[in-house]
Structure 1
Amino acid sequence: MFDYLIVGAGFAGSVLAERLASIANKRVLIVDKRPHIAGNAYDRYDEAGLLVHKYGPHIFHTNSADVFNYLSQFTSWRNYQHRVLASTDGQLFQIPINLNTVNSMYGLQLNSQDLEVFFASKAEPLKNVRTSEDVVVSQVGRELYEKFFRGYTKKQWGMDPSELNSSVAARIPTRLNKDDRYFTDTYQAMPLHGYTNMFENMLNHPNISVLLNTDYKEVINEIQYKFMIFTGPVDEYFDYQYGKLPYRSLEFKFETYDMERFQETGTINYPNDYDFTRITEFKYLTGQKHHKTSVVYEYPKDYGDPYYPVPKPENMELYLRYQALCKEEKNTLFTGRLATYKYYNMDQIVAQSLAAFKRILTLNNTADNTVNGYASI
């Protein structure tokens, strides 16, 4: 008999498993279709002995001391601040767009105040900012939009930015200073020995059992448990009763080169050339010393593993129908990216899971601990 059956061994499921096992002293079984733990954060050593991220680069950053301190129980850290360049017009420019980007592109010597005026002169005022195109052109104008955003977004989403919700472009900042870091969070670091090692430490508890290479539906009738935590695709849980929720996926092409360094920084975006969106070189992220280097090319596509919920109104309407079904489920908690059809950063999922654990503890201390299914914490 298990107290909890958790479907999915990524951040959402693993954090909840660890808290339930170590703090609440509950017996937990984690089931995952994949042959490994750590979800999309899974990393491994390739044939050359280089540490690579199987599902594309995962760079940890957070403003939450609680999240950082929690994960620090299971890993030491390597300080790392990610920097990105964009290849356009045969040159490399800093991204996010900042003072250096504009000065380099136009041969100017602007200061921060000048740049604010420059953006204002280029911006197209809009009364209603509805789409991703609207967000960018209303801030920096159409020329920079065409050079850095439009092509990249079309490749990434398979749609023109004019068709996409404004939330997509809202994730990409524009800066008035020379700060060329991709993130500005208080805590920016990489697990010193990799994400998989961190997850192994997290799940190394006598109350936790892990079953890999297994679809939970194939074993659910053979397992005794009191409560389910589901972190997989919500439409799959309900056998696609209302149809499939649309996702954008990625194909990863890994290459190892017989050289110390392949490119100038961790990631280079290719907004307008080639079928891939970006190339990431892992040694920048990991700090590994090696005479060879491994990189990954990312090719967006419509099919494959579900990575990015497609932010369109009709998709949200479809998800809300599944959410209504979740609320009818007893003793089942739906949490995480796939179960709530929302894109979260890693630290957001950890924070969500820590909050969910507190909610579960509260419910366990009440006379009636039956839980109606949906829980977006």
Structure 2
Amino acid sequence: MDTLIVGAGFAGAVTARELAEAGERVLVIDKRANIAGNAYDRLDASGVLIHEYGPHIFHTNSERVFEWLSRFTEWRPYEHRVLAVPNAADGRAFPLPINRTTINSLYGLDLDEAGVAAYLERVREPREPIRTSEDVVLNSVGRDLCERFFRGYTRKQWGLDLSELAGGVAARIPTRTNDDDRYFTDRFQAMPAEGYTRMFERMLDHPGIEVRTGVEYARVADTDRRRTVFTGPVDEYYGQRFGALPYRSLRFEHEHLPGTAQFQPVGTVNYPNDHAWTRITEFKHLSGQQHAGTSVVREIPQGMDAPGAEPYYPIPNPANEALYKRYEALAEAETEVFFLGRLAQYRYYNMDQVVAAALALAQRLVDRPSA
């Protein structure tokens, strides 16, 4: 073969398709029994389309990325909305990201946009310089909103306090003074009409691509090829030479509710301060599927020491970034091994960012077939 690609998620599948269309012979392996990586979806026992590894909501401002993926799927327009329940005993749910509705409903106010801006300016705690996620949140919305919506969620999700997490994590969530309750504001917001797995099947359906699932990298490490694209954990590739990079894992509790047409009013409801789970997602909102029952998933964060834990999120803070830099130096010294994706680059990528990075890497490889 020309290229061995380790991982059949977005990074691996997009790269494989581009290389195959350039005339290469590509072998794609994945240690899981399925393709599509964490975006893998399937019909559950009751016939509801679910996302096995938690909700994947596609959004992008990149026309190139959207058009490229559109070769392999039709789309269902979908704008994701999230509510947060800061106090489960009280039960009230508020739009997230925080907007005018959130503030007026939470505090019994009737502010216009200018009034919300003035309110936030009054309650915010200016931080300079901004280094941590705590700095980001307090600088934006102040202490009360921080405690209600962010600190507890962060502690559950990451196993760290806001003050221990890099600022870029909290910076992903905006604050709005209007009533826009969409979680994302990207130009393109849609879900694959037949699901992610079907899109990946089409992406990998090329005579130049061979796919083998349920195959560990160690089983094919000695296979003759010109180059390797590795999308798994970079520390795993190097045998954790400098120690294990910290990742955060998740446990998913899937449940089907027969006879319940709708469990919650929006796709996802966050529980920042109560329960073991961070959020509940109801999949029929995402897919638009008609079904007499409904299926939901609860996401319970856990450490990598939990039984069967898989790495999902790099944990961004200065110490972890410094450790990653040591692995990155090894990776950059490689001539025919290329590292791509959230785990391989220890980076908090969105799906569209992975696609863009894969397209860029594939172009580099086509332009420079070998060292």
TM range, smaller chain: over 0.9
Structure 1 unpaired stretches of 5+: 371-377
Distance 1:228 1:145 in 2: 44
Instruction: Report what 1:224 is aligned to.
Output: 224
Question: Which residue of 2 is the match for residue 245 of structure 1?
Answer: 245
1:143-162 residue pairs with structure 2 within 5 A?
143-162=144-163
For each residue in 1:297-329, what CA deviation from the matched residue of structure 2 results, as whole angstroms up to 9, or x when unmatched? 000011211111111211111111111111222
Distance in 1 (CA, whole Å) between partners of 2:214 and 2:13 is: 16
> How much is the aligned-residue C-alpha RMSD, in angstroms?
0.9
Q: CA deviation at 1:175?
A: 0.5
1:204 aligns with 2:209: no
The residue that corresponds to 1:361 in the other structure is 366
Conservation of the 8 A alpha-carbon contact between 2:313 and 2:343? no
1:172 match: 173
- Find the counterpart in structure 2 of residue 139 from structure 1: 140
Q: CA deviation at 1:220?
A: 2.5
1:157-180 CA distances to partner (integer Å, 9 max, x unpaired)?
111111111111111110011100
CA contact (8 A) 2:268 2:282 kept: yes
Q: What is the aligned partner in structure 1 of residue 214 from structure 2?
A: 213
1:257 matched residue in structure 2: 257
Shift of 1:156: 0.6
Cα-to-partner distance string for 1:33-73 (whole Å, 9 max, x where unaligned): 00010000000110000000010000000000000000000
* TM-score, structure 1 normalization: 0.95
Count of equivalent residues: 363
3-state secondary structure, aligned to 1:205: coil
Deviations 1:64-106 (A, max 9, x none): 0000000000000000000000012321001000011111111
CA distance in 2: counterparts of 1:328 and 1:131, whole angstroms: 31
Structure 1 residue 256: Cα displacement: 0.5
Query: What is the match of residue 86 of structure 2?
Result: 88
**What are the within-5 Å matches in structure 2 for residues 199-348 of structure 1?**
199-221=200-222, 223-258=223-258, 259-303=260-304, 304-348=309-353
CA contact (8 A) 2:5 2:228 kept: yes
1:188 equivalenced with 2:186 (yes/no): no
CA deviation vs aligned residue, 1:11-50 (integer Å, no higher than 9, x gap) = 001001001111x111000011000100000001100000
Identity %: 56
Aligned to 1:63: 61
Question: 1:32 corresponds to which residue?
Answer: 30
Instruction: Give the Cα–Cα distance (whole angstroms) in 2 for the partners of residues 330 and 361 of structure 1.
Output: 15
1:206 positional shift: 0.7
Superposed structure 1 runs of 4+ greater than 3 Å apart = none
Take 1:50 and 1:306, find their aligned partners in 2: how far apart are those partners?
26
Q: Distance in 2 between matches of 1:312 and 1:288?
A: 40
- Give the Å deviation of 1:219: 2.3
